[in-house]
Amino acid sequence: MKEILADLKAEQEALDRFLSTLTEAQWHLPTPAEGWNVRDSLSHIAHIDEVATALMRGDHTPLQIAAKVLFKFTEIGVEKGRAMKCSQLLPWWRSARAVMMEELAKCDPKQRIPWFARPMGARAFATARLMETWAHGLDCFDAVGVEPEDTDRLRHVALLAYLARSFAYQVNGIPMPDSPLRLELFLPSGQLWAMGEENAGNRIRGKASEFCRVAVRRRHWKDMNLEIEGEEAGRFMEIVQAYAGPPGPGRKPKKK
């Protein structure tokens, strides 16, 4: 739990440092997420951090609201941010994430936390917050035209995508195959991170930075240089997602 919380804090601080450099005009730049600009992306992160705190404290109101408004729930935080000045956004997020981190630090790693798709263990929950921070952060970097510095924290995103394999098949209405899958990903440090049976016939190999961008639906797998072996490995790359919830349209490939 200490490891994932330290990495989550590092991910938050990395995005914070970047956002701290933005001009007023850059906060309003459109991101690849349709209808959202940079301020909207951060507002969503801050709001969901507040939601996480509420649920850990036993307040299930966010789940009740989400059940009523469905997909419009993600717009609640966006609207809250739009009512603020840009100068207020980072202080809001800093406060929200600090309280969330305090609550997470009190949790047993296996403690179940209520969430929208299904309850999650506290460690997986913290991992998911890291993934969401990184994914929405990518949209902010894209909007400004800056390349983020990838780190070995991507192993957490890759693990979520691997563990969510059956869920990805489920939400896409595809039967989960019996065939095992092997992931062999090189972290930014050059270290090999691997999951799955070594002799699996279905294998995905390449840079963790590329696989993880596909797993959070920020890039299309056809634009990546991943080695994909096996029919099911190819099918998985079409539907992979590191998050709970509907798959969404994802990004269209740029390569023809």
Q: What is the residue-level pLDDT of the chain in tens, covering all 256 positions? A: 999 999 999 999 999 999 999 999 999 999 999 999 999 999 999 999 999 999 999 999 999 999 888 778 889 999 999 999 999 999 999 999 999 999 999 999 999 999 987 899 999 999 999 999 999 999 999 999 999 999 999 999 999 999 999 999 999 999 999 999 999 999 999 999 999 999 999 999 999 999 999 999 999 999 999 999 999 999 999 999 998 877 777 788 886 5
> If we measure between CA atoms, which residue out of 234, 241, 183, 238 comes closest to residue 215?
241
Tallying the residues shown for the chain, one arrives at 256
pTM: 0.94
Structure tokens at 71: 């997909």
- Can you say whether the dihedral through the CA atoms of 71, 77, 82, 86 is positive or negative? negative
What pLDDT sits at residue 254? Answer: 84
What pLDDT sits at residue 116? Answer: 87
What pLDDT sits at residue 256? Answer: 53
Taking the CB of residue 81, how many other CB atoms lie within 10 A of it? 24
- For residue 236, the one-letter residue type is F
What pLDDT sits at residue 61? Answer: 95
Domains of the chain: 2-123 (1.20.120.450), 154-239 (3.30.1050)
Residues contacting residue 13 through CB under 8 Å, at least 6 positions apart: none
